[in-house]
Amino acid sequence: MVGRLRETIGANALVNGSMVVYGMSVVVVGTGQGPGPVLPTLMAAGAAWIGVQSTLNAIAQALLPAWTRACALAYLQLVSRVW
């Protein structure tokens, strides 16, 4: 699904939209008064996070030269897990 979205709206729009969805999800979860609105919001936040991570990984694999790809992707994974 992320690949189709990336082809349809572009990588930049997908990352920007996913970041907005994730930010709004944080607000809803922070102000949520019960599991009713929070659980669907967490699902949307997870989908947005997957959209950002898969898009950034795909772009990195496409743009990095072969001789440094493995090391750079390892650093990308390290930084994304520290967040």
Number of domains in the chain: 1
| Whole-number Å distance between alpha carbons of 29 and 35 | 9
Domain that holds residue 64: 2-82
- Residue 31 contacts residue 80 (beta carbons within 8 Å): no
Q: What letter represents residue 37's amino acid?
A: P
Q: Which residue has the tokens 């709206």?
A: 9
Report the C-alpha dihedral over residues 6, 18, 47, 52, rounded to 10 degrees: 60
- Segment 26-57, tens digit of pLDDT: 999 999 888 888 999 999 999 999 888 888 88
- Report pLDDT digits (tens) over 54-73: 888 888 889 999 889 999 98
